[in-house]
Amino acid sequence: MSVLEVRDLSIELMTTGGVIRAVDGVSFSIDAGQTVAIIGESGSGKSTTAMGLLRLLPDDLAVISGHAMLDGVDVVTEPKKFAKLRGRSVSLIPQDAMTALSPVHTIGRQLGEAVLRKGAMSKADLNRRCLELLEQVRIPSPDAQLKKYPHQLSGGMLQRVLIAMALAVDPVLLVADEPTSALDVTVQAGILDLLMELQERTSVAILMITHDLGVARLVSDRIHVMKDGKFVESGEVEQIVEHPQTEYTQKLLAAVPKLGHWDGEPQHNAPVFNPATSNTLNGAHP
Partner 1 sequence: MSATLQTPAGTLPAKDLVLSVKNLTVDYAVHRSTFRAVDDVSFDVPRGSTVAIVGESGCGKSTIAKAIVRLLTPTSGQILLSGQDIARMPARQLRPLRAKVQMVFQDPYGSLDPHLTAEDIVAEPLTLRGIRSAKERRAEAAKLIDQVGLPSSALGRRPAEFSGGQRQRIGIARALASKPELLVCDEATSALDVSVQAQVLDLLADIQQATGLTYLMISHNLGVVRESSSHVLVMSKGRIVEQGPTEQVLTTPRDPYTRALRAAALDPLTMTGRKPRDVVSRLNKVAPQGEPVLMEEAS
Residues contributing to the site for partner 1 (CB under 8 A): 41-42, 139-140, 152-157, 184-190, 192-193, 195-197, 211-219, 237, 241, 251-268, 272-273, 275, 284-286
Minimum Å distance from CB 65 to partner 1?
A: 28
Q: How many Å separate Cα 57 from the centre of its chain?
A: 17
- Decide if 192 contacts 35 (C-beta within 8 A): no
Residues present in the chain in total: 286
Q: In the 8-state DSSP scheme, what is residue 170?
A: -
CA distances (Å), origin 188, targets 137, 164, 198, 212, 267: 14, 16, 16, 12, 23
**Which has the closest alpha carbon to 207: 12, 65, 9?**
9
Shortest CB 61 distance to partner 1, Å: 20
Closest approach of partner 1 to the CB of residue 21, in Å: 20
Compare residues 36 and 195 and give the one whose CB is closer to partner 1. Answer: 195
Q: CB-wise, 104 or 262, nearer to partner 1?
A: 262
Q: Which is nearer to partner 1, 25 or 235 (CB)?
A: 235
Closer residue to partner 1 (CB): 63 or 131: 131
Nearer to partner 1, 70 or 252 (CB): 252
Q: Is 237 helix (H, G, I), strand (E, B) or coil?
A: helix
| 70-89: b (≥16 Cβ within 10 Å) or e | bbebbbbeeeeebeebbbbb
Q: Please, what is the minimum distance in Å from the beta carbon of residue 115 to partner 1?
A: 23
User: Of 13 and 191, which CB lies nearer to partner 1 in the complex structure?
Assistant: 191
Shortest Å distance, C-beta 273 to partner 1: 7
Please report how close the Cβ of residue 152 comes to partner 1 at its closest, in angstroms. 7
Least separation in angstroms between residue 15's CB and partner 1 is 14
CA-nearest of 208, 169, 173 to 191 is 208
Bridge partners of 27, per DSSP, are none
Q: How far is the CB of 114 from partner 1 (least distance, A)?
A: 22
CA 270 to chain centre: 28
What element of type H or E holds 22?
Answer: strand 18-31
Of 69 and 189, nearer to partner 1 (C-beta) is 189
Type of residue at 279: N
Per-residue burial over 27-57, b if 16 or more Cβ lie within 10 Å, else e, is ebbbbeebbbbbbbeeebbbbbbbbbbbbeb
Query: Quick one: 15 or 77, whose CB is closer to partner 1?
Result: 15
